[in-house]
Amino acid sequence: DMNTANWVPDLLIERMREDRDWTLFSPSDVPDLHDLYGNEFRERYEHYEALAEQGKITLCKKISAKQLWRKMLTVLFETGHPWITFKDPCNLRSPQQHQGVVHSSNL
């Protein structure tokens, strides 16, 4: 079995609370986001959104952050997967930041 997780940045939670949109990107268009968290993630993510608005990134989709969050919770409740983990708190509290970014949990 493969245990998967949604690795959620604080920015998604903020946008959900503010009833704002979230942009889904192809990982090939935003390859560095995987290695960023906190303010660095926010700045880079918003940069990519600006590029999408300018038409420089075309393989993306803007949806309601609340709609995405509800879908994630629905799938979790119905299937037990994927788990939800929080990218920013995990990395900010990691005692091994010298080893690099935490990409997953051991759940």
- pLDDT for residue 30: 98
Quick one: tokens of 85?
């983990």
Number of domains, the chain = 1
Rounded CA-CA distance 59/8 in Å is 21
pLDDT tens digits, residue range 23-37?
999 999 999 999 999
Residue with tokens 């994927």: 82
Which residues constitute the domain of residue 87?
A: 5-99
The percent of residues in the chain predicted with pLDDT above 90, rounded, is 71
The answer to whether 62 and 21 are in contact (CB under 8 A) is: yes
Please identify every stretch of the chain with a pLDDT value under 50, giving residue numbers as ranges.
none
- pLDDT for residue 72: 96
Which residues touch 75 (CB under 8 Å, ≥6 apart)? Answer: 81, 82
| Residue 107 within a domain | no
- pLDDT for residue 107: 58
